[in-house]
Structure 1
Amino acid sequence: MNAQDLKNSILQRAIEGKLVPQRKEEGTAKELLAEIRTEKARLIKEKKIKKSKPLPEITDEEKPFDIPDSWEWVRLKDLGQFSSGKTPSKQVPSNWTNGTVNWFTSKDIKSDYLSRSQILISEEAANGLQLYPVGTILMVVRSGILKRLFPVSFLENPGTINQDIKAFQIYDSRISKYLFLCLKGLSPYILKQFRKQVTTVDSLRFEDFSIMPIPMPPLAEQQRILDRVAELQPDIDAYDKAQTKLQAIEQRFPDAMKKSLLQYAIEGKLVPQRKEEGNAKDLLAKIRAEKAQLIKEKKIKKSKPLPAITDDEKPFDIPDSWAWCYINDVAFVTKLAGFEYTKNIHPNLVKNGIPLFKGKNIQAGYLIERFESYIPEKISDMLPRSQISSKCLLVPYVGTIGNIAIFNGKYKAHLGSNVGKIEVFNNNEIHVLEEYVLAYLKSYTGYIELTKTKKATAQSSISIDAIRKVMFPLPPLAEQHRIVAKLEELLLLCQQLASQS
């Protein structure tokens, strides 16, 4: 992991409300948003900005993660106004000589804070352009760099911009620096959700991006977050120069380190690839053959083929020896149907027998093997699809989504309500390690894939079909073994760090 990866992890924790504790005496973000609306109304009254149409309320489906109760989600466009820039005429030489005015392009948006542009234009050239004050946030919205980065900078000296950049002037200057940090923290999400490819150069779907939900803490907490990030920056710099300080950093961020390790693992960056281990395309062919045999034997039903995964859909690049597929391509995913529970399970509950796995049996990635409900073995045998008799992953699909664990298959059990199973096609020989599947689903990308269609009602939920459609990066089997072994080694160190902190 490099220093930028570590910084990204810190920013992610910051904007989720996990970097500093909440304090009741600091009030709530509702109060702050009321003040921002008042300031916006004043600017409209003074005709400094135009009145805009009210934006729709933010739905639960739009929220990319949970935030503390004292925070609020607010649309980006409700916090300020966006402006575009342009390029002065190239046919007027004086525009580009003896320049004194900053003219920022995408090439300038490389550092967090901007004081001077690479190209200065003359005052005459700047007369027809808008000059942005200190505190304006500049962001690249059209550039090839959007394939991998979302460049954003905070303006420390006035300047103007070209057409590849948007300037964001915030109504309430008190929130400017937090909002800048927030956009940097949301960069991976922004690229995944709003980047579009065109024939010449990538760009953002700006209308959608401009109304994205932003997590807003109370004002005092914003400052504490900024202070904490600034406090951590020397550690990040030291880590970049000398990894001998890795242990000290891990003591502060064991959870963040775990997530980063998992992400590295499933991107093919944790262990090297070996040519002699073959490739995942051949492995997928074997899995398809096994799946076809199970269908022929009527042990599973034939499912409709899913569409091919396009390059735009792939959340990251993988090694050449790997392959993108769906969970449904490598595993049988199912649940106990509602009518089966009503007809067969509920009327036949007993005090001893085949245990039922419920959502509460799967906590923090571990199985809690204390059962409340049992059914007779003959009832379990009547429902082989939802029976658990071999190694598999158990996945709650209502409640705490993403809380997944491996069942070792050493005894017979059965799916209860709200729990599905992912049973890898390892009947004739091992093709995919359940431990590797678990690592992927616990990673940052895997969790996003798993929860991208999450419905937030009284209890969060996803469909079993959504689990089948989770995109999955498949390495060769031997590399899976090496990844799992390396993760076991490194995650144990993280656990030790956590216990010492």
Structure 2
Amino acid sequence: MDTKLLRQKILDLAIRGKLVPQDPNDEPASVLLEKIRAEKKRLIKEKKIKPTKGKSDKSHYEKEIPFEVPENWEWVKLGEIAQHNVGKTLNKSRDSGEIREYITTSNLYWGRFDFTEIRSMPIEENEFSKCSAIRGDLLICEGGDAGRSAIWNYNYSICFQNHIHRVRPFEGVETKYLYYHMMYIYLNGNIKQYLKGVGIQSLSGTSLASIVLPLPPTNEQILISNEIELLFELIETIEENKVSLEDLIVQTKSKILDLAVRGKLVPQDSSDEPATTLLEQIRKRKKSHKQTSDTSHYPFEVPKNWLWCNFSDLYILISGRDLDKDEFNDVGFGIPYLIGASSLINNQFEVNRWTTTPKVLSEKDDLLITCKGTVGELIINDIGKVHIARQFMAIRSIVKIKTKFTKYFFEYSIETIKERAKGVIPGISRKDILEIFIPLPPLAEQKRIVSQIEKIFAQLEIIEDSLKA
């Protein structure tokens, strides 16, 4: 579920008058506008506010309205229905006044404030009313992430600096409605038409005042805001559950692998040929191999018919080698040349280089592990002979071992392996791999373990896919 698009859709319905039912008994927005104009005239006469530059041109809305709205709504500009101004500019030459705390754009986020770092500056008493916010004011970033907004809902006032707009709506205009409209034009990108500047753009006071929006009756503004708030809370719950479920899936996979390598995922079968039979194959190859009764250095206990083995008892480790530019091509001549993690996309090979003069070959059924830069990516070679660069090491079994079992064991161990990575460009050495101990089950049990892991992981991946839908 794309929750960002869901929010956009809810806001789109709200701003078009389609989120809540229309009430014919509501006082139309045109009456509200007349009241606001009368109030503004009174305040101008009393010299409490300055006259608005320019005149409202209602015909402009009638000619270029963005979309149709209900009959009892009105198209307005933000400057017509709210007072607005920016805060105080830091100025060392004007550093008199009482030291007061103030917020900047770094404290202002969508729907919330971060008080981790609050600054202070001197503010004169006659400046305080202009550069302080009270409960119910809408604060909007002028620069940085221009348009980002939050409502000041605290019972105390706070000062703010000149890169924040304070929007204080006239009576009958809901602050929450204006907040959601700012979010609406921010999410759909329409805010860009109001921004100025190259590179870092800003939202000037003039541009803020010119923002065009549909104004519903007061009662409907309240209903719309409350409905959006309710729906957004539900979306947040979905997001939290989604994250929790995603984390749970990761933890579940980790636990499945943990049970698998400890011999606790599938039942043991006494009729299975024990792992010691595989060890006999090793002894024939390595006459010097000695089995010890001391198991204290092994990470954990395994079933009786399992066997702890050194890496080199079971596998050979092949380190890759880079080719010179004249030794490979990009037109498909020769065998694939795998250069590193960039050759792996969605657990599949992405081949864009080939060579007719391979130096280090990986063969089909090898387990490849990235060892430089991006460390710990794992993939089974299912395409045959390939040349591997030094960003890869190939793990090739020398006895009958399911490669998928080996891969799952390394997935279980991968975080421990990554911790060994060293250097500015992280890398693991051959020694980091060769020192690993491997818990070896009977071959038949390896097959059952792999089958059970694949079955469980497939079910978990269906759930993961549903979360992305």
State the structure with more CA Rg: 2
